[in-house]
Structure 1
Amino acid sequence: MTTIRTHSDAITKVELWPVDIPITDPFVIATGSRVVAQNVFVRITLQSGAQGYGEMAPFPEVGGEDQATCLSVATRLGKALLGQSAAQYRRLADLLQDLAPLHSAARCGLEMAALDAFCRAAGIPLWALWGGADVRARETDITIPIADLDRTVALARGWHAKGFRLFKMKVGKDVDGDVRRLEAVHRELPDIAFIGDANQGFNREECIAFVNGVKRFGGRLVLLEQPVARDDLDGLLALRHLTGIPVAADESVRSLDDARTVLEKQAADYINIKIMKTGVIQALDIAAFARGAGLRLMIGGMVETRIAMGSSFGIVLGLGGFDVLDLDTPLLLADDPIKGGYAYSGPRLHPWRESGLGLTTDAGHEVTLIE
């Protein structure tokens, strides 16, 4: 990875503000639901005047953090960042990890803003910092939350009309109902493929029943994402062999050590990289480790705007080697508060060329200022 040093890269100001953005349809998964993305935006200013943006996107039922926790923890962490060099972004990530090991979303937003500011000061896009190995438009899947049959089909039909062909179906609450939902979508749209994302909602027997049900109606199920509990690595391994469907470890991998354990147990075919689980720098380390170990790479997010999702897309463009992109949540929000940055056309994400993340957003009314 490139290391670039600039003058005046000391962090002089950290700003935090809460952001509440309605989700167009309730985002229902096996372990919880969201109707509003309750996130936190960050802006970091360097001594040079360069500014960078970050985002904290907690999902309490998945990571245990919420908006209030992120604001509180990030206020404390922001004070520790004052005077630190944004050029030493890896050391900053280690400092944040030491100070708040259990608050990955809060750490992630601050890392992201520091990296964005540093790259803007250096005059390079964020993805160039990671090498720019695969700078091209890429396609994402689209997520269909758990909903009743009619709403599921209506959502699928709408996204299909916009060009989406890989549907990530949230499942894991009711096996028979899950199979019926996927079958209804398949009958309506036979040219699509499915990812089944149970968010730990199945046990082993339920997952096998789900896969067999999809096979019976002829659905194309290309990936099982975290079908069983995060600690049940034996279950993940068994399902790889018993279903014949590749398995992605998501909640099972919240650190580099977790990724090593998944490899040791041969529990997954894919690692799902999510910066909100780990922070940006550790996500890069996990991706490099997974690729070097022969595991395939998927990348996703929580319910994020184009700030956090742009950071993840920057990892894709910079490192290369990602097979499955699940970078769709800005499309599920009722409003886009971001100006600039990467752009969508149907399922395609188009790279940006401006420095940093190439985007801006207006500060909210409840800004916490740290300087």
Structure 2
Amino acid sequence: MDIQSVDTYSIAVPLHTPFKTALRTVTVAESIFVKVTCTDGTIGWGEAPPTHVITGESLASIKYTIESILKPAILGKRLVERERLFESLHYAVVGNTSAKAAVDMALYDCLSQMCSLPLYQFLGGYHESIETDYTVSVNEPDQMAADASQYVANGFNVLKIKVGKDDIEKDIKRIGAIRERVGQDPLIRLDANQGWSVKESIYAIRKMEDLNFDIELVEQPVIAHDIQGLKQVKDHTFTPIMADESVFSVQDAKRILQTESADLINIKLMKAGGIDQALKINQLAEAHGIPCMVGSMIETKVGISAAAHFAASQKNITRFDFDAPLMLAEDPLDGGIDFQGRHISFSAKNGLGITTIRLERILSQQT
């Protein structure tokens, strides 16, 4: 079974509520969809959203990289020669990890279909189902408390709170307001998106520890390149620290693990360049006794399905952040993973389980 064609499509789906972090505000989920067709008719799907402030990629750069660089690198290659295939993909261009991830997940969709297995079973099959957190966008404290209360009422028992915008005292007030509104039962994890300095991080985390805010973990408190600073925060607080933007590649993960600079690692396919490299990052972390979370950008169910299948397949992945499709005003496809509140389940269909007839109809309307 050889790779016969690679096609790209641009999509845009509005969010029902603006998504706000320390780095950006998103109102529309834009993506490039990738369709890989094999010589036997098998079709695999992938997705790459532009996340300028994290990966540095735009819609235009993703589309160009896939069509002009990655497509020529894999056309005609055999799926069964997977080591050669993913080597060709990974080394075709430096960086451009989201573009690589979209093609990578489409190839894995094809591979697992070829083996007549759902992707999560093809990759390892550790979990039959998983649960996602829900993200509270950064806003005024009262608004964030109201949002958090609504998400808990909707059945979410793990909240990911965005902080890192404005001053540090306001961030502490945000968490205080949320804890006062929702009580101590919901699990709360913080994501500063690189928005704090080292001193601010240590001060804020220690103060929240003293106030008994019971924070599960703090994600990427300092700027991505400051590994020494990240380690300082980890070494001077009791709350677990998770590296996110600091880890794109296997080499990044190795640096974090060797320096003992984080307690956990957040793997995202858009940073890693796809499932092939994400598996290697997780295996390296597991060898060092460091658990991982799998997260995502603002994506549709194409990319999130691939990330969820990967996450569910691995024992060392213990936390899941896949709420992005729940933020969309509409679902642009049928199939893929199924959401029942915080619960995510996988169909018995092979691969990602995406229903291509529905997807192709929507895409044809936009091209």
TM superposition score normalised by structure 2: 0.93
Are 1:356 and 2:348 counterparts?
no
2:65 alignment counterpart = 73
Structure 2 counterpart of 1:50, one-letter code: T
Q: Do residues 183 (structure 1) and 176 (structure 2) align? A: yes
Displacement after TM superposition at 1:150 (Å): 3.5
171-180 vs 83-92, which moves further: 83-92
2:48 maps to amino acid: M
Q: 2:106 aligned to 107, 113, 122, which one?
A: 113
Residue number in structure 2 paired with 1:122: 115
Which of 68, 88, 96 is the matching residue for 2:89? 96
Residues 100-132 of structure 1, C-alpha deviations (whole Å, 9 max, x = no match): 221000011011111112222331111122121
1:6 corresponds in structure 2 to: none
Alpha-carbon separation, structure 1, partners of 2:106 and 2:36: 6
Q: Could you list the per-position Cα deviations for residues 48-95 of structure 1 after superposition, in whole angstroms to 9, with x for gaps in the alignment?
A: 011111111221111100111111111112233221112333322221
For the Cα contact (< 8 Å) 2:130–2:312, is it kept in 1? no
- Is 2:262 aligned against 1:262? no
Match of 1:335 in 2: 330
Cα distance in 2 between the residues matched to 1:62 and 1:285: 21
For 1:3, the equivalent position in structure 2 comes to none
Moved more, 74-83 or 51-60: 74-83
| Residues in 1 aligned to 2:141 and 2:207: alpha-carbon distance in whole angstroms | 16
Distance 2:316 2:257 in 1: 18
Match of 2:78 among 48, 69, 85: 85
Q: Does 1:272 align with 2:272?
A: no
Q: Distance in 2 between matches of 1:74 and 1:243?
A: 43
Distance 2:124 2:353 in 1: 17
What letter matches 1:211 in structure 2?
Answer: I
What is the TM-score with the length of structure 1 in the denominator? 0.92
2-structure distance, mates of 1:24, 1:367:
20
Which of residues 166, 170, 175 in structure 1 aligns to 2:158? 166
- 1:347 and 2:351 matched: no
Q: Is the 8 A contact 1:246 1:269 kept in 2?
A: yes
| Residue pairs, 1:188-199, within 5 angstroms | 188-190=181-183, 191-199=185-193
Q: CA deviation digits over 1:24-54, x for unaligned, max 9?
A: 2222211222211111111111000111111
Task: Indicate conservation of the 8 Å contact 1:93/1:281, yes or no.
Answer: yes
> Partners of 2:306 and 2:279 in 1: how far apart?
11
1:203 shift after superposition: 0.5
Contact 1:273 1:299 in 2 (8 A): yes
| Range moving further from structure 2, 354-363 or 145-154 | 145-154
Q: Flag structure 2 segments of 5+ consecutive residues without an equivalent.
A: none
SS of 1:188's equivalent in the other structure is helix
Distance 1:129 1:192 in 2: 33
Question: What letter is aligned with 2:200?
Answer: E
After superposing the two structures, state which structure 1 stretch, 279-288 or 172-181, moved more. 172-181
Cα distance, 1:177–1:24 mapped onto 2, change above 3 Å: farther
Counterparts of 1:196 and 1:163, CA distance in 2: 19
Provide the alpha-carbon RMSD of the alignment. 1.6
Please identify, of 22-31 and 58-67, the stretch whose mean Cα deviation from structure 2 is larger.
Answer: 22-31
